[in-house]
Amino acid sequence: MITDTLPPASDVFPLLPEITLIVGAFALLILDLFFNNKQRIVTHVLAIALLLGAAWMIVAGCGGHGVVFNGMFVRDTMADVSKVVILIVSALNLAYAWPYLRERNLYPGEVPVLILFATVGMMMLVSAGSLVMVYLGLELLALCSYALVALNRDDGQSAEAGMKYIVLGSLASGLLLYGMSLVYGATGSLKLDEIHAAVANLTDKPLLLTGMVFLVAGIAFKLGAAPFHMWLPDVYQGAPTPITQFISAGPKLAAFAMAFRLLVDGIGQDTPQWHALLAGLAALSLIVGNVIAIAQTNLKRMLAYSTVSHVGFLLLGLAGGSAAGYAASLFYAICYALMSVASFGAIIVLSNKGFEADKIDDFKGLSTRNPWMAGLVLCVMASLAGVPPFLGFWAKLAVIDGALGGGLTWLAILGVICSVIGAFYYLRVIKVMWFDEPVGEAQPARGGALPVLFGVNALALLVLGVFWNPIMHWCVLAFTR
């Protein structure tokens, strides 16, 4: 009788990348017990190898596509595209994190294991075929993120950020879970494909629409869209910079995939109310994020509010409601993940033990001290601002076109206006680097592989800005059904 309840072996094959990471994370958890802080670079290197190995497995097609575990897990092109980028940015984050954490003795052995489990949570979100899988992936990601944010237990600001994150994150999880329960009550199923089929036959939709509102609220919190962005500035500023870097990149891509699974694969296009909700969230995020970011003097807080504005751009294509719009939003999420890793990478590279380069004034006169580094930071800020030919320009152009294709002309115009407003605070960083006098004592230049990694990351935004078509083509294929 026991063997009859076991899933067939073919159900396991599409999950091979996830299984590899889970087994590897448990192995590293045990292996770390035998290392001291200096030796824990081995744990970091092995974790990076696991992430890159899982990405290679997906690119090589190991396990193949399919809908397995009775529809709970879906592996398709969209899932593969999202997972490859999530794995790459997680590996980049671990590479940035090691020197920073080692200098501050921030328990570096715990970080790679938590990041591996959080990455598995993101991959489960991306491949969710049922409400149960959505919630499992979301909570695995969230619980690991809470621990990571409060990593520096001796710093009151980090502990405060962790407390705020867990309280508000739990509230958002509750909203999402309540919305799921209402959708289940309206449709009688937890599977997204069955929900989609049931919605088409519903004549009385108040219960479904109420659940949909709660779902959108939960999604907006996880993305950091206004007015559900209240956690972003404090968490971004209080968390150690590599942790801020991690939660700012891959989880945004996973949250986009979660929104697509729930709203498009689940609720479906025949319920236009969620398009209006996303359009409103996009407009509010664009305005709030760009306007408040102008007033910030702390670079991490500025980037937090800029994240709100970037989420607004990401929602432009999703609100458009077409396959081209979804592809544009996926492209934007990928581009933003790479840009976000680079932006916080600049802070990490310029920081030293006892000095956090997290204020805009810390970048004053950087061009006189280190012209090469100033040029790399310029590439990052120009891409975030959407200056051609950097990658960020094509990302913004794609989602604005997606909004136009969905008939949201007013939202596309607002996106253009807010893009101009947003350019101000990015150009301010460039201005202080190249035209202001240095403030305080010059910090010693960092050596080793970290500046090389940042250089590759920053210059990739220019190179990919020239050769962006293959990435966009990959995103288009993800929604060709």
- Residues 6+ positions from 395 with CB-CB distance below 8 Å: 313, 331, 332, 335, 336, 386
Domain coverage including residue 403: 272-481
| pLDDT confidence of residue 443 | 61
Q: Which two tokens stand for residue 383?
A: 């891409």
Q: Considering just the CA atoms, what is the radius of gyration of the chain in Å?
A: 22
Judge whether 146 lies within some domain.
no
Counting the structural domains of the chain, the total is 1
| pLDDT confidence of residue 441 | 64
Nearest Cα neighbor of 260 from 186, 332, 206 is 332
Judge whether 93 lies within some domain.
no
| pLDDT confidence of residue 1 | 39
How far apart (Å, rounded) are the C-alpha atoms in residues 83 and 54? 9
Nearest Cα neighbor of 314 from 326, 301, 298 is 326
| pLDDT confidence of residue 5 | 59
Instruction: Give the three-class secondary structure for 66.
Output: strand
Cα dist from 312 to 15, 18, 153, 225, 229, whole Å: 32, 30, 33, 7, 11
Judge whether 182 lies within some domain.
no
How far apart (Å, rounded) are the C-alpha atoms in residues 363 and 299? 10
| DSSP one-letter code for 109 | T
Judge whether 334 lies within some domain.
yes
* Count of other CB atoms within 10 angstroms of residue 188: 10
Cα dist from 479 to 102, 317, 453, 471, whole Å: 42, 13, 32, 13
How far apart (Å, rounded) are the C-alpha atoms in residues 192 and 76? 15
The model's pTM: 0.94
On whether the CB atoms of residues 217 and 249 are closer than 8 A, the answer is: no
Consecutive 10-residue averages of pLDDT for the chain (481 residues): 56 90 94 81 92 95 88 92 96 92 78 94 94 94 92 83 90 92 92 90 85 93 90 91 93 93 89 90 95 93 95 93 92 95 93 82 88 94 94 94 92 94 93 84 70 93 92 90 64
Judge whether 480 lies within some domain.
yes
Judge whether 190 lies within some domain.
no
Judge whether 389 lies within some domain.
yes
Judge whether 107 lies within some domain.
no
On whether the CB atoms of residues 332 and 396 are closer than 8 A, the answer is: yes
